[in-house]
Amino acid sequence: MAFWLLKTEPSTYSWSDLAKAKRAVWDGVKNPTALRNLREMKVGDLAFIYHTGEEKQIVGIAKVVKAAYPDPKAGDDSLVVVDLEPVKALTSPVTLATIKADKRYAGWALVRIPRLSVMPVDAEHWKTLAR
């Protein structure tokens, strides 16, 4: 199993929206690196849901229930999506400020490449952040 972080603007699609829907197609990704990361996702992988914008925090955990496939809305096979189901909301969201203040996360893409919307999370980071 692999671990991921998926960013979303909560005013567009939030953790609450995913929890309410019970399943969602994770779409809208266009960055080549983020798309490569989406293509690597497998059924059963877990992903942090991260709210961007004013919040800048990890708020929940979702599970990949369908691996990458061409985005049916895009008409372009290079754009892919995955299907997610909510697992749980974090009891205490983890802010970007908290992550940046901890030297253990200095090399993580969330800190180094702030505009990347889909990124891997190593097992140690997952263990310390999944509360």
Q: How do beta strands 24-26 and 80-95 pair? A: antiparallel
> Among residues of the chain, what percentage have pLDDT more than 90?
95
What is the tens place of the pLDDT at every residue in 6-28? 999 999 999 999 999 999 999 99
- Per-domain residue ranges of the chain: 3-129
Question: Which token pair is 90?
Answer: 């974090």
3-129 in CATH: which number? 3.10.590.10
What is the tens place of the pLDDT at every residue in 39-95? 999 999 999 999 999 999 999 999 999 999 999 998 888 999 999 999 999 999 999
What is the tens place of the pLDDT at every residue in 75-87? 888 999 999 999 9
Note the helical H segments in the chain: 15-21, 32-40, 96-101, 109-112, 123-129
Backbone Cα Rg of the chain:
14
Residue 27 CB contacts under 8 Å (≥ 6 apart), including other chains: 71, 73, 74, 81
Biggest CA-to-CA distance, the chain: 42
